[in-house]
Amino acid sequence: MVGSTVCAVTEQADINDVPADIRERHATLSQEIEEHRQRYYFASPTISDAQFDELMHELEGIEEQYTSLRTPESPTQQVGAPVAEPGAGAEASWPPVEHLERMLSLDNAFTADDIAEWANRVEREVGTGARYLCEPKVDGLAVDIVYRDGKLATLATRGDGRTGEDITYNAQYVDAIPDRLTGTDEYPVPAVVEIRGEAVFPTEEFEAINAERGDLGLPLFANARNSGAGVLRQRMDRRKDKLDAAKSKADAAGNEGRAQATYERVLEEYERARRNLNRLTLVCHGIGRRDGFDIRLQSQGYEALKAWGLPVSDRPTVVPDLDAVRTYIDHYGEHRHDIGFEIDGVVVKVDQVDLQRQLGSTSRAPRWAIAFKYPPEEVTTKLIDIRVNVGRTGRVTPYGVMEPVKVAGSTVENATLHNASEVKRKGVLIGDTVVLRKAGDVIPEILGPVLELRDGTEREFVMPAECPACGTPLAPAKEGDVDIRCPNTRSCPSQLRERLFYLAGRSGFDIEAMGWEAGIALVEAGVVVDEGDVFSLDAERLKRVPLFTNAEGELTVNGRRLLDNLEKAKQQPLWRVLVSLSIRHVGPTAARALAGALGSMDAIVEASEEQLADTDGVGPTIAASVTEWFAVDWHQEIVRKWREAGVRMRDETDTSMPRTLEGLTVVVTGSLQDFSRDDAKEAILARGGKASGSVSKKTSFVVVGENAGSKHDKALELKVPVLDEAGFKVLLDSGPGEAAKVAQVRSAEPAE
């Protein structure tokens, strides 16, 4: 008793040594984190995972400096969240169940230095013999599954790591969770085994669910992780009771009237919930308690899981050192969207179980594992305003103006909202706190509002009636169109700027020194009335544009470079000229098809709509759009001006090039050393082949370079012949017969 008193007095003295402002910040952070943790597990989160990580990181930093604040009650020492007591205001909660072994969390790393520091600690503790198992970190709901004598006993959420929610009832609806384990001679079914994994919606299933909800007028799910957790934790037993009660009432009413209508509505809701549960998949990644069975390696445990019939990823890889860990992390940082479900990082584990035991655990996380977290792709921020942009085809697109926020490694202030109907469907109001997503190079998108943070000051967005750039009344191009457009196509300055930027882009004439600012400057200086004037630019006209002149009024280096690049652009192939005309629906694929089939601008102009539609890769919609475009006088004038300026209007047919790839479809993926992506496509098309962007059973060859990703895996799965760059050169030089001899054809094999 005396010892306890002395300890308490000493601890109190240590806490009193902490500056008051630090103690106050620690208390505020602890309370804020706990509130967000409760929302994350039992309600709707109001901040993103990355913002939660930032709060936790700050709290850990304070406790690292002032260790007396690191008490067992601190959020840094907790795992998950306690299970809500059934009947205590938590209608959706399930009964609690204790895990056989505690489910720990993982410490996080955010930089290469963090990973190196962790690896150095491992080496100090166990020497240099550690090997590392790396695997993508699935962004799902952590679950604990117990099998006794091979039969499913319990399915539970993580909860606080010791006690989770018993959601076993819902397992019957999830095909990915086997009711019984199978066994092999090497891995017989143990008497008791506790499996750890993540339940998650595959990307395609999540998109299908949201499409269905959109059709039904229901709010869209914000992300796969939270929606998957909500679906798996829903009280399906109560839904079934409600359905049975509704059916009894309908039967008593002779299956007519209001009772029957109610039953049909409840049945539809039940069936939708059942379907969504079955859309979940499970990725198993660990073993807790095990009786009558042990493993020497973590990777061996994954082999056992697979042998028992449990779903595991084929991407975990055992690597020998820290450099290989970094390579693995970098690879999945570039290919995180090729996996088929959401990941938010890479988990790195010491593979040897005896070394894991030496390293041990803290109160919340094992010391033998760490999670490297990628920059966030979803964050929350304030929507300050909704404005509209007028695109190159006159389409008026709303976009959100937000408080600047860092997402996916870059600072974002604007995000697309597509059209007025989409704004309404997402339920976004000006002044909302919104969920923002940016995946890689994809344009940032507002997913929806955080309803819990509304305070009544928000207001609806009203689509303008007139073009903000030229004042022309806005209207749909035709009856039934979702989009509204500015019909002042030729003279609207916003449309012209967008078209100039587009024709100078990589899919168009590919003109360096003619970016967005240059387009604005050319229009404002009046030297370009429409895009037909671009190739008539000369030094005298360009001197009237301040952006391209120096203090003495002479052309800058960029000005001279623009003129040189315009001259080179005149020799671009016909398909690039077609793309640069900004004909609605005509992108690179359709333009290549038209240029390849008809060969000249004159032939395309003279072709009937039916002839255009019959061209492989074109079809009636694109054909109608092409015909309509060339029927406009000032459009014809653009083509005339370009022709007179020397722009090439016909592709020269190379009769010396044998059409050895006629009828073949070739997919190129990854980076090739001697070919750009466009060069590779041109080489295929010149020999009569089709260059496709997706792999199917109809694909003839897949050419793989560095970082080939999922298309390579798909080719192996479908047994499509795979060529490396040397094999691609054989295909081009000697044809498919010789290429087949050097191609790789096999089924996909799981990684080690």
53 annotated binding-site participant: yes
Tell whether the model's pLDDT for residue 86 goes beyond 50: no
Rg over alpha carbons for the chain, rounded to the nearest Å, is 31
728 annotated binding-site participant: no
134 annotated binding-site participant: no
Q: Looking at residue 11, what is its pLDDT?
A: 42
pLDDT digits (tens, 9 = 90+) for 135-160: 999 988 999 999 999 999 999 998 88
Q: Which is higher by pLDDT, 599 or 368? A: 368
At 8, is the pLDDT very low, low, confident or very high (cuts 50, 70, 90)? Answer: very low
For all residues of the chain together, what is the average pLDDT? 86
52 annotated binding-site participant: yes
Whether the CA torsion 665, 669, 673, 677 is positive or negative: it is positive
Q: Looking at residue 337, what is its pLDDT?
A: 79
Tell whether the model's pLDDT for residue 70 goes beyond 80: no
490 annotated binding-site participant: no
At 61, is the pLDDT very low, low, confident or very high (cuts 50, 70, 90)? Answer: confident
Among 35-39, 345-349, 684-688, the range scoring the smallest mean pLDDT is 35-39
Tell whether the model's pLDDT for residue 64 goes beyond 90: no
Q: What is the mean pLDDT of residues 52-72?
A: 80
Paired with 108 in beta bridges are 371
233 annotated binding-site participant: no
Q: Looking at residue 748, what is its pLDDT?
A: 41
314 annotated binding-site participant: no
Tell me the CA end-to-end span of the chain in Å, nearest whole number: 55
Q: Which is higher by pLDDT, 665 or 577? A: 577
Distances (CA, A) of 343 to 3, 9, 181, 372, 580: 48, 46, 27, 11, 38
Q: Is 170 left (phi over 0), alpha (psi -120 to 50) or beta?
A: alpha
293 annotated binding-site participant: no
Pair 92, 354: CB distance under 8 Å: no
Q: What is the mean pLDDT of residues 175-199?
A: 93
The full set of domains in the chain, from first to last, is 2-78 (1.10.287.610), 108-203+280-373 (3.30.470.30), 375-485 (2.40.50.140), 493-569 (1.10.150.20), 574-645 (1.10.150.20), 665-742 (3.40.50.10190)
Q: Looking at residue 196, what is its pLDDT?
A: 95
Q: What is the mean pLDDT of residues 54-82?
A: 75
50 annotated binding-site participant: yes
pLDDT digits (tens, 9 = 90+) for 560-587: 999 999 999 999 999 999 999 999 888 8
Q: What is the mean pLDDT of residues 662-687?
A: 84
Tell whether the model's pLDDT for residue 386 goes beyond 70: yes
Residues with active-site annotation: 137
Top-confidence range, 381-385, 499-503, 661-665:
381-385
Q: What is the mean pLDDT of residues 204-208?
A: 86
Tell whether the model's pLDDT for residue 456 goes beyond 80: yes
291 annotated binding-site participant: no
At 409, is the pLDDT very low, low, confident or very high (cuts 50, 70, 90)? Answer: low
Q: Looking at residue 12, what is its pLDDT?
A: 44
Q: Looking at residue 34, what is its pLDDT?
A: 72
Give me the torsion for CA of 373, 375, 380, 386, rounded to 10°: -160
Q: Looking at residue 596, what is its pLDDT?
A: 81
Pair 225, 310: CB distance under 8 Å: no
Among residues of the chain, what percentage have pLDDT more than 70?
90
Distance CA 161, CA 99 (A): 8
SS3 439: coil
Q: Looking at residue 9, what is its pLDDT?
A: 38
Tell whether the model's pLDDT for residue 83 goes beyond 60: no
Pair 628, 622: CB distance under 8 Å: no
Tell whether the model's pLDDT for residue 667 goes beyond 70: yes
Q: What is the mean pLDDT of residues 248-264?
A: 90
284 annotated binding-site participant: no
Q: Looking at residue 207, what is its pLDDT?
A: 83
Positions of E strands within 139-191: 141-148, 151-157, 163-165
pLDDT digits (tens, 9 = 90+) for 340-359: 888 889 999 999 999 999 99
CA atoms within 13 A on the CB side of 97: 20
